[in-house]
């Protein structure tokens, strides 16, 4: 009895050590995957989606999928020195921003006198243009009179854009958002599979020993 118990205990311990070793190895393999082929590794996609992009390369559409309007409203405090956003609000140093999302760049805004560089830019304030503008107004329109350094965090820009969009625009969010969400879900499935072999090894090793002993 003693002996058998010790043997079994030994195998359980051994299986545990193997299990630990395997999980260390597999986590190393998945980390390597992550560095080399972020699109392919199940863990990599899931991790990137959760951590908000380790490299900071997340696209604005993806960032908007998890953006928080109330965070954007708070961030708008950075803009209120120059902008109002309420419907019919006055133009100040900068133009009123009610319903600006989806509008032509530097058109209208109650006769606000835009700089010639922004007025001549062309295009409209879609999500991509707003993202570039808020990241660096000067890079977007060199010579603009909006003296604002820009927001370096894509999450902050996404939150702010979602908030701007909620103020009179309500442009549908980009399709990429749903695709990114689907990709994140797909990524979760292989991750669950990868964990299984480690558990099996630990569970089967003592069972195999129990047969000859009994």
- Cα–Cα dist 72/163, whole Å: 5
Give CA–CA dist 97/107, Å, rounded: 12
Name the residue among 171, 155, 185, 130 with its Cα closest to residue 62: 155
Q: How far apart are CA 43 and CA 184, in angstroms?
A: 10
Q: Name which of 89 and 190 has its Cβ closer to ligand HEC.
A: 89
- Residue closer to ligand HEC by CB (options 94, 206) is 94
194: tokens are 């990868």
Instruction: State in angstroms the smallest separation of the CB of 86 from ligand HEC.
Output: 14
Buried b vs exposed e over 105-114: b needs ≥16 C-beta within 10 Å? Answer: bbeebeeeeb
CB nearer ligand HEC, residue 115 or residue 136: 115
Write out the two tokens for 158. 């996404």
Report in angstroms how near the CB of residue 90 gets to ligand HEC at its nearest. Answer: 14
Quick one: 58 or 100, whose CB is closer to ligand HEC?
A: 100
Residue 49 CB, nearest distance to ligand HEC (Å)? 26
User: Closest distance between ligand HEC and the C-beta of residue 38, in Å?
Assistant: 30
Most distant CA pair in the chain: distance in Å? 93
- Which parts of this chain interact with ligand HEC (CB under 6 A)? 78-79, 81-83, 93-95, 97, 100, 105-106, 109, 114-115, 118, 125, 134, 144-148, 160
Q: CB of 164: closest distance to ligand HEC in angstroms? A: 6
Q: Which is nearer to ligand HEC, 43 or 114 (CB)?
A: 114
Q: Which is nearer to ligand HEC, 92 or 197 (CB)?
A: 92
Q: Residues 157, 151: contact at Cβ < 8 Å? A: yes
Distance CA 109, CA 52 (A): 35
What whole-number distance in Å separates Cα of residue 207 and Cα of residue 192?
A: 24
CB 98 within 8 A of CB 88: yes
Residue 112 CB, shortest distance to ligand HEC, in Å, is 7
């Amino acid at each position: 009895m003693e002996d058998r118990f010790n043997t079994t205990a030994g195998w359980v311990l051994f299986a545990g050590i193997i299990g630990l070793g395997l999980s260390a190895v597999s986590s190393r393999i998945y980390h390597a995957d992550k560095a080399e082929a972020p699109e392919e590794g199940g863990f990599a996609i899931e991790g990137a989606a959760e951590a908000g992009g380790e490299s900071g390369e997340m696209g604005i559409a993806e960032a908007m999928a998890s953006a928080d309007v109330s965070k954007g409203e708070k961030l708008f405090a950075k803009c209120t020195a120059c902008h109002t956003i309420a419907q019919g609000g006055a133009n100040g140093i900068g133009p009123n921003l009610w319903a600006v999302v989806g509008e032509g760049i530097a058109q209208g805004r109650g006769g606000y006198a835009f700089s010639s560089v922004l007025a001549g830019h062309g295009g409209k304030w879609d999500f991509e243009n707003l993202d570039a503008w808020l990241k660096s107004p000067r890079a977007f329109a060199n010579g603009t009179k909006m003296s604002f350094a820009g927001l370096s965090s894509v999450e902050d820009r996404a939150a702010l854009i979602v908030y701007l969009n909620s103020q009179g625009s309500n442009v549908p969010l980009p399709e990429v958002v749903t695709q990114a969400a689907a990709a994140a879900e797909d990524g979760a499935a292989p991750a669950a599979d990868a964990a299984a072999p480690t558990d099996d090894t630990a569970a089967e090793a003592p069972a195999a020993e129990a047969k000859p002993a009994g």
